Amino acid sequence: MRISSLTLLLTTALLCTSARAQTHEVKMLTRSATAGMVYEPDYLQIAPGDTVRFIPTQSGHNAATLPGLLPEGAQPFKGKINQEVEQTFSVPGLYGIQCTPHLAMGMVMLIQVGEPSTEPPVLPATLPKRALDRLTAALQQQQVAK
């Protein structure tokens, strides 16, 4: 009896979350507990139609799409420094996000909208090494999450 009501509760919760668009928060940080110049989290998987709120928790950062890592048909965006950005992602695919002044320091993240492709994505070869390293690490999170 107890288990069945719990199952019902979980099923209802799942149905509700899939039906309603969600807002996810990403902090822009100069220093986190473990690293410098980071988005926290640096990998998100969201549903098409969900919104991501980029919060300037620490100053000096922005959120912008990364050229070359944007699904076809998706609209690029670029937030101002220290500006909170709320962006809705409706086109499925993999989005690279960069902090414009700290790209070379590896301040980047990935947002997967919808289910990940079965083929591993190609990261732009022109990226600075630290950005490439962080995106590669974020992609490994995606593999683990599968």
Q: Which residues sit at the interface with Cu ion, rule CB under 5 A?
A: 61, 99, 102, 107
* C-beta closer to Cu ion: residue 54 or 89: 54
CA–CA separation, 20 vs 127, rounded Å? 35
Q: Which residue is nearest to Cu ion (CB)?
A: 99
Indicate the residue type of 120.
Answer: P
* C-beta closer to Cu ion: residue 36 or 124: 36
> To the nearest whole angstrom, how small is the minimum distance from the Cβ of residue 126 to Cu ion?
19
> To the nearest whole angstrom, how small is the minimum distance from the Cβ of residue 39 to Cu ion?
9
* C-beta closer to Cu ion: residue 102 or 134: 102
Half-sphere exposure (Cβ direction) of 100: Cα atoms closer than 13 Å: 12
Phi then psi dihedrals of residue 33, to 5 deg = -65, -25
CA–CA separation, 126 vs 58, rounded Å? 28
> To the nearest whole angstrom, how small is the minimum distance from the Cβ of residue 104 to Cu ion?
10
> To the nearest whole angstrom, how small is the minimum distance from the Cβ of residue 111 to Cu ion?
17
* C-beta closer to Cu ion: residue 61 or 134: 61
| Token pair of 107 as six digits | 């301040």
CA–CA separation, 122 vs 93, rounded Å? 12
